Amino acid sequence: MKRIFVIFTLLMLGGVSLRAQDTTRTAPVDSTLIGKSILSVLGPGVQLEQSAAVRQALENYTRSNADKPINGYRIRVFYDNGPQARAKSESIEQVLRKQFPGTGVYRSFESPNYKVSIGDFRSKDEALRIFNALKGAYPTAFIIKESINYPH
């Protein structure tokens, strides 16, 4: 009986030590790097050598996925249904295109509201950078989760 108890105790202790070693941890993803090319993150003086085929494959992949929407964030700058909403939304769209060239600006109409949104942000942190620049001029702006265009 003692022998069975000792064997059972040793098996239990062995199982506990194996379980303690089984914990796996994964490093958190740095959300500031999401959507960025590795080439834009490299510091000065770093030289990257790669074949033209690799660069061409990446460009082909990006181009083939350009029409696929993905989940992301935009900043809703304008949302109104008043009598001057259409003219106001057009004006805001033009101002944003000049103020943030290269950033997508989207004007839409869903009866009865005109909307103007900016950006194709993959993370909320990216959206917050532009949002902080906009909140002085557009105090009613807010960040929305939406399908965005594939990043280039």
pLDDT tens-digit readout, 121-149: 989 998 998 999 899 999 999 999 998 88
Question: Is 37 contained in some domain?
Answer: no
Task: Flag whether 129 is in a domain.
Answer: yes
Q: How far apart are CA 75 and CA 92, in angstroms?
A: 13
- Residue 59 is assigned to a structural domain of this protein: no
pLDDT digit string (tens) for 4-60?
766 767 666 655 454 444 455 555 555 555 556 666 667 777 777 778 898 898 888
Q: Is the bond preceding residue 112 a cis peptide, omega within 30 degrees?
A: yes
The answer to whether position 119 is within a domain reads: yes
Question: pTM above 0.75?
Answer: no
Let me know if residue 3 belongs to a domain: no
SS3 for 62-101 is HHHCCCCCEEEEEEEEEEECCCCHHHHHHHHHHHHHHHCC
Q: Which domain holds residue 79?
A: 70-148
84: tokens are 């001057």
What is the CATH classification number for the domain harbouring 111? 3.30.70.1070
Domains in the chain, number: 1
Q: Is 24 inside a domain boundary?
A: no
118 within 8 A of 108, measured Cβ to Cβ = no
**Inside any domain, residue 7:** no
